[in-house]
Amino acid sequence: MNPLAWSYRSVALAGFLICAGLLGYALYAEHVLAMIPCPLCIFQRIGFMVMGVFFLLAAVHAPRGRGRWVYTGGVLLGAAFGIVVAARHLWIQSLPADEVPQCGGDLSYMLDTFPFAKVLKLVFTGSGECAKLQPVLGLPMPAWTLLWFVLLAVWTVLATRRRAA
């Protein structure tokens, strides 16, 4: 069965299930494999959550015509946020060891201590725990998330551009 020929509702439901599966794996990696997420990892999860919510809303509502672009816009917003975060994370992981920023506090500590704008600045500056390479099937986790953000964004645009079936 060709996933590019699925109905809009089927694509949206599959997108939601993929996002839920990716978030489920992130929780499995955190709690079973003991891969402690850095702040950038948590932000990538937020990107998948945003995408998942809009995929679910699109699957339930299944609008026709231009109404699909509302949900696609939400999915693309989550994907764009995730792509930026994952790209930044990969860049930090590519730094030489002497240029990696020092480890900082975890995200909950930063949110309790600093204003939100400063937390965003600190998170995107990166820290030592963001530079740890923990490959999954040969690639670091941010590479996988970047791939999934791009694939899901392209897939939803293709589904939205097709005529209503």
- pLDDT recorded at residue 83: 96
Q: Which CATH architecture has domain 3-161?
A: Up-down Bundle (1.20)
| Domain extent listing, the chain | 3-161
C-alpha–C-alpha distance, residues 144 and 135, integer Å:
10
Q: Comparing C-alpha atoms, which of 148, 159, 44 is closest to residue 92?
A: 44
pTM for the whole thing? Answer: 0.79
Quote the tokens at residue 143.
């590479």
- pLDDT recorded at residue 132: 63
- pLDDT recorded at residue 102: 55
Segments of the chain scoring below 50 in pLDDT: 165
Per DSSP (E only), the strands in 70-143 are 135-136, 139-140
